[in-house]
Amino acid sequence: MSTFQPVLPHDLLWGLPAAALPIDAPAWVFEAVGLGHPVVVRRARVAAGLVAVGVRGRSRDQRYATHMRLDDVQRCVRPEGLIAITADADWPALRALEQIRSVMDALGQPWGVAGGAGFELASGVPVLHAGSDLDLILRTPDYLDRQHAARLLEQLASAACRIDLQLQTPFGAVALREWAGSSRQVLLKAEDGARLVDNPWLAQAVAA
């Protein structure tokens, strides 16, 4: 398991055994896990040796939160590992990925594909449709000022579908669309929950 340490939110993991699922999990969860579909790492505090994950079903409302043992992880794919994959399907989300690639590369920061597009690119399981958004992450260990965020949002606006980009700060994630806006406080999604903060790059923003 040391090869995969540490796992990060939005990573896709393979290896969750169906026997590890709660007995009262919905039937579709057992089906997805039984088919060998990956699970996605989510933000939540769990005991040592475990990782919080979500199981994805066939429809948008089928999302199931659980956890898995790190020792069970057989494979891990990061969002950054998906940006160069060419898909056979021709959905707007995948066309948008091609359109914004040069914009994202020019930022000089690691970025990747998450959400349905990331899941389909990594697993080959068809989950996208004509109305799917393109979910992206941008790793921003250092402060990104709001003017730069607004310019990036504008550059992404002409893509073939809506793009939802999350800025991954050292203390959680904030939506680019929010950080580029005019509200003084934005919603930071952290391991211990979501809260409104002034600056997502400040440690005290997530203090208990």
Catalytic residue numbers read 133, 135
DSSP symbols for the chain: -GGGPSP-TT-EEE---GGGS-TTS-HHHHHHHHTT--EEE------TTEEEEEEE-SSTT-EEEEEEEGGG--EEE-GGGGTTPPPS---HHHHHHHHHHHHHHTT-S-EEEEHHHHHHHHH------TT--EEEEEE-SS---HHHHHHHHHHHTTSSS-EEEEEEETTEEEEHHHHTSS-S-EEEEETTEEEEES-TT-GGGG--
